[in-house]
Amino acid sequence: EVQLVESGGGLVQPGGSLRLSCAASGFTFSSHWMHWVRQAPGKGLVWVSRIRPDGTTTNHADSVKGRFTISRDNAKNTLYLQMNSLRVEDTAVYYCARDRLNGPTLFDSWGQGTLVAVSS
């Protein structure tokens, strides 16, 4: 069974940093593109970042470019999101999501999410 378990969320002040983790199991982690998607309270889904299976290519949404960094450790089956210079508008539930093995991007498995709250 595919499992994605996020951790690392919490309350942080504006300008602060957090690192999210997503532990993957039940599939060959090193074969899949992986993503972070966020959802502000009561709002819709917004794609944040993605990373190639071997970690050599990453992409980030313009709203987080230069502040967030996605990475992965295939030996540990873990995905990360380093978030720096956090802003109030970054407050959201952050989901890690698996991309299907082949073809255009779609999110076929999701974690339960971890809440990041940015407030003074």
Partner 1 sequence: DIQMTQSPSSLSASVGDRITITCRASQSISTYLNWYQQKPGKAPKLLIFGASSLQSGVPSRFSGSGSWTDFTLTISGLQPEDFATYFCQQSFNVPPTFGQGTSVEIK
How many whole angstroms separate alpha carbon 23 and alpha carbon 80? Answer: 9
Q: Binding to partner 1 by residue 95, rule CB under 8 A?
A: yes
Q: Which two tokens stand for residue 16?
A: 């602060």
Is the Cβ of residue 75 or residue 106 nearer to partner 1 in the bound state?
106
In sequence order, the 6+-apart residues with CB closer than 8 A to the CB of 116 are 9, 10, 12, 18, 20, 38, 83, 86, 90, 91, 92, 93, 94
Instruction: Give min distance, CB of 52 to partner 1, in A.
Output: 12
Is the Cβ of residue 93 or residue 118 nearer to partner 1 in the bound state?
93
Question: Looking at 16, 23, 82, 110, which residue binds partner 1 (CB under 8 A)?
Answer: 110
Q: Binding to partner 1 by residue 13, rule CB under 8 A?
A: no
- Interface contacts to partner 1, rule CB under 8 A: 44-47, 50, 59, 61, 95, 100, 104-108, 110-113
